[in-house]
Structure 1
Amino acid sequence: MKLGMIGLGRMGAHMAQRLIHGGHQVVGFDPKPETRRDLKGKGVESTDSLAMLVSSLPAPRTLWLMIPSGEPVDGALQELQPLLAAGDTIVDGGNSNYKDTLRRARIFDDCGVGYVDCGTSGGVWGMAEGYSMMIGGSEATVEKLRPVFEALAPAKNRGWGRVGPVGAGHFTKMVHNGIEYGLMQAYAEGFSILQHKSEFGLDLHQVAEIWRHGSVVRSWLLDLTAHALDGNPDMTGIAPYVADSGEGRWAVAEAIDLDVPIPVITLSLIQRLRSRDSESFSDKLLSAMRNEFGGHAVKKA
């Protein structure tokens, strides 16, 4: 199969190369010329515009988007819509909000263009290990793309599947990322306790390696944690600032709408927000309150 890949950042480029290794042809487009140049010699054809990308593909065409959620996706789709024809298919493999996916799918359904949402996990390791893909779309459209999903997955029969109609893939990935937040927070807090028990002189990398084998808390995430601790046991040069890309927020909002209690995921999101406030007004005010009612000393900045 020959398909178009829109968005050739690290993950998009890795997916394109895995598809090529799986026997597919990939034509790519990225708005950054330097990104397109970086793909030379890696088997991925590149074009200078979306129009050129679409014209280089045989009908019916399949275009896979790997671009940031929100306005970038809407912008690309608005440019693509007049270029496509009935029978073509769009796959959004990024982390779009499922509500945006439902809205976009309705627009393309009116044009006879198939729309598939593919929640994709695997990160920088996906090219070697394969990607976990949670897919939403019609049964017929997803089945038509089976060879593509099989090439990207860890194995033809593992790590991917159609989880429901359009929107279900991104919804499932949203929950997946919420769980990820909670797992990461638990590991980080546990290792922080170990690090603060200075009299034992614990080797955190050694502990992580012990836990990786036979322990009930072993996981791939722990494998990566052990790797990070091996290379930088004191986390030297890393600011205590944790970003989020939106999925955790969406998961918390969805849980509230559904009256589902998710205290661990919610608190892990709050901790990420807290990490960014190096001049916390609320903490300063708390200290001032203690001084007001109890005369407790205030630590000066």
Structure 2
Amino acid sequence: MTTTATLGLYGLGTMGSALALNILDKGFALHVSNRSAEAVPDFVEEARGEGLAADLHGAESLEAMVKAMDAPRAIILMVPSGKPVDATIDTLMPLLDKGDTIIDAGNSDFRETRARTKTVEDAGLTYIGMGVSGGEEGARHGPSIMVGGTPEAWDAVRPVIEAISAKFEGAPCADHLGPDGAGHFVKTVHNGIEYADMQLIAEVYGLMRYGRGDAPAAIGKVFEGWNDGPLDSYLVEITGKVLQATDRETGKSAVDVILDAAGQKGTGRWTAIEAIRMGKSASIIEAAVGGRALSSEVAVRAAGEDIFGAARGPIEVSDDDLHDALLVGRILSYAQGFRILEAASEEFDWSIDMARTAEVWRAGCIIRSVLLDDIATAFRSDLPHGQLVFAPAMVTRLQEALPALRRVVCAAATQGHAAPALSSALSFVDTLRHARGTADVIQAQRDFFGRHGFVRLDGREDQHGPWWG
């Protein structure tokens, strides 16, 4: 198997090394280098151990790697987002020839990708912003890949990208989703949905563990059973496994020796920020981001428990209700994510294919689930009012499961169990159920203190209330 461009990969960290092995495994020759030169011979030995070093060329520096590559070149950057990407591009550009391609395969801010695209392509080079999801295992054996760039840039690298991607029923989970920053934005929203899904799962676990007193292994068994049905997904699958794992040092449940302070690298936060900028509700994602932020304040939470008292009382909720509550939360978090994607696609004239995006997420990525088939089908149909949650298949699922979510949130609230994402999911769908809400009072307040005006029910705009005489 060959490609017209000579392939290079710079950055041999965990993800970069895994992706490089994947490329070699699919029959492509590859040049590699790394900022720390000592990582290169280590990787060459690793590749040799897997029988993949025949078409591998290691270089001690980025400059040496480029010099050893025949034009046209396509160089994949696997470096941390932000300044490291800019620094690498600044080093690369003078070394490349017109028509060469730079592919940023990290978790870059899509706004930076848009700016870099212009800078690089103004110099006669080609730039691709590429979202890659699936963690180390996905990178090695087949990730979900979201490409942003010109159609011509995509055509040039398509053979290798499709070859290394995950496959769903034989179809590659990789595609060109739009120009400049589209690929990185889709990956950002993917990660926002990932944050929401993880938070929802954690809250359900918390209600079972601290509300019902279930042991982690028993909860893990429940999740394992849930993975055979509408909750079938990578995150439910691994949750079942981690909850049944035992710590080798203490013999305790593995989760019981882990500090409950969750890390974050920024993409979930970016999703929430962009949703706010675009005027779209991402309340479940926002709750997940906020939940992670509060989790890091371990000392503050301990002080709060001392001051206010531990409030987690016993609850009576069934496995079936918790299953359905999680299902509703997951559907709505996907819906919120796609609403953000649609808003961005319109704002930046990207023409993102929502159905195809759902299909790209069906394998290889962290948020893969059986729901994505239904979501792709829904987007290929005539969506009522353009809303995923109004698709007949989604409406049926939501109507059947909403009472369970209401019971779960009620039980959590009355007994003092924090469930911000589940509560946000319920509030989101309840807001959609009210043809007339309470924003009339907000508009009246805004007019009272700032003379901002409002629209009357008869359609007249820029009206003012009687408080102005």
- Shorter-chain TM-score above 0.5: yes
Partner residue, 1:28: 32
Partner residue, 1:272: 292
Partner residue, 1:97: 109
Instruction: Report 1:1-301 matches (<5 A).
Output: 1=3, 2-41=6-45, 42=47, 43=53, 44-127=56-139, 129-155=141-167, 157-197=171-211, 203-214=218-229, 216-232=230-246, 233-280=253-300, 287=307
Contact 2:242–2:254 (CA under 8 A) maintained in structure 1: no
Partners in 2 of 1:238 and 1:45 — Cα distance?
41
Q: Give TM-score scaled by structure 1 length.
A: 0.89
Distance 1:254-1:283 versus aligned 2 partners, 3 A rule: farther
Contact 1:87–1:113 (CA under 8 A) maintained in structure 2: yes
Long gaps (5+) in structure 1 = 289-301
C-alpha displacement of 1:25: 0.9
Partners in 1 of 2:111 and 2:43 — Cα distance?
33
Contact 1:27–1:47 (CA under 8 A) maintained in structure 2: yes
C-alpha displacement of 1:203: 0.5
Residue deviations 1:97-156 (CA, integer Å, cap 9, x gap): 001001111111111100001111011221454110111111011011011111211137
C-alpha displacement of 1:181: 0.3
C-alpha displacement of 1:230: 2.4
C-alpha displacement of 1:286: 11
Moved more, 235-244 or 161-170: 235-244
Partners in 2 of 1:164 and 1:31 — Cα distance?
31
* SS in structure 2 at match of 1:31: coil
Partners in 2 of 1:6 and 1:128 — Cα distance?
16
Distance 1:278-1:197 versus aligned 2 partners, 3 A rule: closer
Contact 2:72–2:100 (CA under 8 A) maintained in structure 1: yes
C-alpha displacement of 1:222: 1.0
Partners in 2 of 1:208 and 1:142 — Cα distance?
39
Cα RMSD over matched residues? 2.1
* SS in structure 2 at match of 1:242: coil
* SS in structure 2 at match of 1:231: coil
C-alpha displacement of 1:192: 1.3
* SS in structure 2 at match of 1:33: coil
Partner residue, 2:362: none
Long gaps (5+) in structure 2 = 48-52, 247-252, 309-469
* SS in structure 2 at match of 1:120: strand
Partners in 2 of 1:9 and 1:270 — Cα distance?
29
* SS in structure 1 at match of 2:257: coil
Distance 1:199-1:15 versus aligned 2 partners, 3 A rule: closer
Distance 1:12-1:128 versus aligned 2 partners, 3 A rule: closer
Distance 1:114-1:226 versus aligned 2 partners, 3 A rule: same
Distance 1:218-1:55 versus aligned 2 partners, 3 A rule: same
| Greater percentage in helix | 2
Contact 2:149–2:178 (CA under 8 A) maintained in structure 1: yes
Contact 2:163–2:172 (CA under 8 A) maintained in structure 1: no
Number of corresponding residues? 287
C-alpha displacement of 1:237: 2.6
Contact 2:220–2:243 (CA under 8 A) maintained in structure 1: yes
Moved more, 272-281 or 173-182: 272-281
Contact 1:4–1:62 (CA under 8 A) maintained in structure 2: yes
Distance 1:267-1:197 versus aligned 2 partners, 3 A rule: closer
For the pair shown, the structure with the greater C-alpha radius of gyration is 2
